[in-house]
Amino acid sequence: MTTPGIEGAGFIGFAFEQLLPPVQSAPATSTSGGTLPTASVYKYVITAINANGETGISNEQTVTTGAGGTNSNTVNWVTVTGATGFKIYRTAAGGATGTELLLTSVGLVVTFVDTGALTPAGALPVSNTASTPNTYQPPVKYFPVLSETLKHMQTTQWRKPIRQLVDVLGAVQGDVHTEGDIVVEALPDVVPYFHCIARATTVKTGATSPFTYTSTPNINAVATDTASITIIRNGVVFGYTGCVVSQFKYAINNGILQATFSLIGSDEAVQSSPTSSYANGVPFGEGQYELQLPTPTVILDADGFDFTVNDNATPNFRMRNTGRGATFVSFGERAVTADLTRDFLTRADYDAYKTLASQGFQFKAMQDSNNIILITAPATIKNTHETNLSGQGNVVRSKIAYVPILDSVTGRAYQVAITTTENFQF
């Protein structure tokens, strides 16, 4: 078998830096030791906790009690590395899936006996808040990549003290962090992961497939979630930790929608090589795009498009004795731009951009009801309007730069909503 070159032998994996939910085994029931009623059906889920929060729920298990009124149920699960305890949720007798309420919290054990003495109260978690920032996690999602430039950045301090020398006397280790770009086809099952580690609040909707992940920008100083990015380059494993998205860009390149995510992270951790697996996603292509400008007016004269959000992230370092990597990554001022290349319409259209009038903007890529990327900007203002003689045939072309601004009605400058069959917790 021929060994592939570095491009063919490389792959990239993604993992949120958080505890994984527990995996629950089948419960057991006993006709003694408790007060649970006869022939009653109960459903259970388990979560893990640490100092930062609580995971999403485990797989659901169902058990039916036996005869008599002295029944008890024993639930079991596999421990989670890094957890400090677990929470047990249970339905009422005969309760439906998803109606579990908090029954109790326990320590680092892997079993619990439900005697019926406790009354469930307290809602299920809606997201995974048991974060483990800057702690390497092995990949749980693999995706095809067009290019990547992630690198280890080291600020070596070169010593040049004034002592009748003009050369470098030596070097002292300085701070380190990681940064670079990952360019991917904008597959709906891939890009939502990156939006969850950006400066945005992501909400998942849909009880069953398809699911929609809606990311709305916020003013947080740091990202809610961080990620470990694993890259295998011709058999050599690189693990980048504490990664967040500093900037992202969607653009159409030769008819295909592509996404570029600029990452900044804390440090690097080498791990063993994982075994990759991929979904068979197909990128968006020609005939699958719709532009509205101003909304809801559909325009058919645009061919160049890109949308960029830059949150100007910066690695932050602190004095400590536990490594040289960035303690966290903070965000700065946000800059959002949208560029379109369109047919030039009239002189009046050119003059209108000088008035700073606001226009709503929407870009939609859609293969079917299961695969959609929707980018909206409720209020945009034309910033530049470049028209010259390099037209196509008898058509004069204009390159127009739009700047989305904070909309007073929706309270946001932009929003990205992605519909996909991919189901993950964040």
Taking only the tens place, the pLDDT of each residue in 8-34 is 778 999 999 999 899 999 999 999 999
Check pLDDT > 90 for residue 89. yes
CB of 214 closer than 8 Å to CB of 416: yes
The total number of residues written for the chain in this structure: 426
Distance CA 241, CA 270 (A): 10
Alpha carbon of residue 367 to chain centroid: 22
CB of 55 closer than 8 Å to CB of 20: yes
Beta strands 371-387 and 53-54: pairing type? Answer: unpaired
Distance CA 380, CA 403 (A): 5
Residue whose token pair is 């079917």: 368
Q: How confident is the model at residue 393 (pLDDT cuts 50, 70, 90)?
A: low
Least confident interval from 192-201, 227-236, 370-379 = 227-236
> How many CA atoms does the CB half-sphere of 68 hold within 13 Å?
10
Percent of the chain with pLDDT over 70: 97
Q: For residue 14, what pLDDT is reported?
A: 97
Residue 205, strand partner residues: 212
Residue 342 has a CB neighbour count (10 Å cut-off) of 21
Q: How confident is the model at residue 7 (pLDDT cuts 50, 70, 90)?
A: low
Q: Mean per-residue pLDDT for 166-195?
A: 95
Q: Mean per-residue pLDDT for 70-93?
A: 97
Average pLDDT across the chain, whole number: 92
User: What is this structure's pTM?
Assistant: 0.89
Domain boundaries, the chain: 19-114, 141-420
Q: For residue 32, what pLDDT is reported?
A: 95
Structure tokens at 86: 């677990």
Residue 93 has a CB neighbour count (10 Å cut-off) of 14
Residue 149, strand partner residues: none
Q: How confident is the model at residue 423 (pLDDT cuts 50, 70, 90)?
A: very high
Residue 325 has a CB neighbour count (10 Å cut-off) of 20
Give the Cα-Cα-Cα angle 320, 323, 327 (nearest 5 degrees).
70
Structure tokens at 411: 């309270």
Higher pLDDT, 97 or 322: 97
Higher pLDDT, 329 or 390: 329
Q: For residue 414, what pLDDT is reported?
A: 97
CB of 136 closer than 8 Å to CB of 265: no
CB of 197 closer than 8 Å to CB of 245: yes
Check pLDDT > 60 for residue 2. no
Distance CA 40, CA 169 (A): 78
Structure tokens at 109: 């054990």
Residue 7, strand partner residues: none
Residue whose token pair is 């003290």: 161
Q: For residue 355, what pLDDT is reported?
A: 84
Q: For residue 171, what pLDDT is reported?
A: 93
